[in-house]
């Protein structure tokens, strides 16, 4: 039988706090403990306490540095397991404007506690005094749209497929066709960064040359996000190589590289282009409804770190999140967070022209919609696939059903015949 030793420190409960001094965390918890005691145990473990009162844990120290329990909401009980929602306040003076220590405090040892059968960090709320320590996105929604001359419509983009294996010239050719067809944005797949068969210098140089050609032909600009993910001490070298060869956007796999790595790139003065944030591996700790960390928290932290464009899921796509969850993730990037710029939500994962109506309906016009296979697997090739995406966008903005618009737009007609139209 496991015995869970915790002293009850009533000083950790708070009727009111100076909210400017605290970051507030909301959790879902399943535990055999009484929820109030579990909440206090969490507060103690993640601030001044341990399983027993120690010699130097003075009342004064607890009063200044301990986490406070703000709210305990009972959600029910089953087979001896209590379910609840907890709100705790952590003094941000304990960790400062340091993302690793913020996460260590709000999502650290609590996942290891034996009597916390399931626990999920649902949200983090930041006061103005804390947000002032972060620069946030350099470009954000308006800056990204302005860089491409886009007004009153979504950005349309693609991921180059196949994901890996293309040498620089073939990769550049694929980019040219998609750009010529009308995409505004092209990104590396998250699986390619700086491999021996396609070094950043060669890939970016070849690609930007072809994009310049496409831009001249179509009369629009194209943004290319170069994946610079690497060991942390090599990421800025990759960024420099990309920028020196004409890159107009950088990309970071920010979960695998780390929030601090993302922040390092975003806040570096030499990085004067938007930073695209890919969240691969995030679902390892976000997918469970009862355990881990929510995507809302991931999105907020990416914005704090300075991400200009952040993946939020896929509207009616191949990923696990519901439409409602994707919309919530997108709203977090657009909601007010002090003076931080709004970040551009990215809808990606199983998209194609037939899903453009749903994307615009749920996410509006301030969104980047990415299609990989939905462009490169078009029956007439990637240029036609790109045209079909733009045609679908034009149809929606004009209030014309896709099937009707397709009667006079062959590329869209072929895409609809292959993939259909999703109207949810």
The residues annotated as belonging to the active site are 161, 278
Closest by CA to 40, choosing from 62, 63, 8, 64, is: 8
Which residues in 318-419 belong to E strands, given as ranges?
Answer: 344-348, 368-371
Contacts 24+ apart (CB under 8 A), 325-331: 325/295, 326/362, 326/363, 327/362, 327/363, 328/296, 329/295, 329/296, 329/299, 330/363, 330/367
Q: Which residue has the tokens 């966008």?
A: 393
Cα gap 29→34, rounded to integer Å: 11
Cα gap 103→262, rounded to integer Å: 15
Say if CB 275 and CB 187 are below 8 A apart. Answer: no
Cα gap 145→175, rounded to integer Å: 20
CB atoms within 10 A of CB 24: 19
Within 8 A by CB and 6+ apart from 112, the residues are: none
């Amino acid at each position: 039988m496991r015995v869970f030793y915790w002293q009850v420190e009533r000083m950790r409960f708070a009727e009111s706090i100076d909210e400017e001094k605290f970051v507030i965390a909301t959790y879902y918890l399943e535990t055999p403990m009484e929820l109030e005691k579990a909440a206090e145990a969490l507060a103690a473990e993640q601030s001044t306490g341990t399983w027993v009162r120690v010699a130097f844990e003075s009342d004064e120290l607890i009063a200044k540095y301990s986490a406070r329990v703000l709210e305990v909401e009972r959600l029910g009980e089953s087979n001896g397991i209590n379910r609840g929602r907890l709100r705790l306040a952590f003094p941000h003076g304990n960790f400062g404007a340091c993302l690793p220590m913020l996460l260590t405090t709000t999502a650290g040892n609590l996942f290891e506690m034996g009597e916390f059968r399931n626990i999920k960090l649902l949200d983090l709320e930041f006061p103005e005094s804390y947000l002032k320590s972060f620069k946030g996105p350099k470009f954000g929604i308006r800056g990204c749209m302005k860089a491409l001359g886009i007004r009153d419509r979504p950005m349309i983009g693609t991921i180059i497929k196949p994901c890996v294996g293309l040498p620089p010239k073939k990769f550049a050719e694929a980019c040219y066709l998609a750009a010529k067809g009308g995409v505004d944005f092209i990104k590396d797949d998250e699986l390619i960064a700086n491999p021996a068969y396609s070094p950043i210098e060669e890939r970016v140089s070849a690609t930007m040359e072809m994009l310049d050609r496409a831009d001249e032909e179509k009369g629009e600009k194209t943004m290319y996000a170069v994946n610079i993910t690497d060991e942390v001490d090599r990421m800025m070298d990759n960024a420099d190589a990309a920028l020196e060869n004409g890159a107009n956007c950088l990309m970071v796999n920010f979960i695998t590289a780390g929030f601090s790595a993302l922040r390092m790139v975003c806040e570096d003065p030499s990085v004067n282009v938007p930073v695209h944030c890919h969240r691969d591996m995030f679902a390892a700790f976000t997918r469970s409804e009862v355990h881990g960390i929510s995507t809302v928290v991931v999105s907020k932290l990416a914005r704090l770190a300075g991400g200009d464009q952040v993946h939020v899921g896929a509207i009616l796509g191949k990923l696990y999140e519901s439409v409602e969850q994707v919309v919530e993730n997108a709203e977090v990037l657009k909601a007010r967070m002090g003076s931080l710029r709004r970040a551009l939500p990215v809808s990606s994962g199983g998209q194609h022209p037939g899903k453009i109506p749903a994307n615009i309906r749920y996410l509006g016009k301030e969104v980047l919609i990415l299609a990989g296979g939905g462009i490169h697997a078009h029956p007439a090739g990637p240029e036609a696939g790109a045209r079909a995406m733009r045609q679908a966008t034009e149809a929606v903005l004009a209030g014309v059903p896709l099937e009707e618009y397709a009667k006079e737009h062959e590329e869209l007609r072929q895409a609809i015949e292959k993939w259909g139209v999703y109207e949810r």
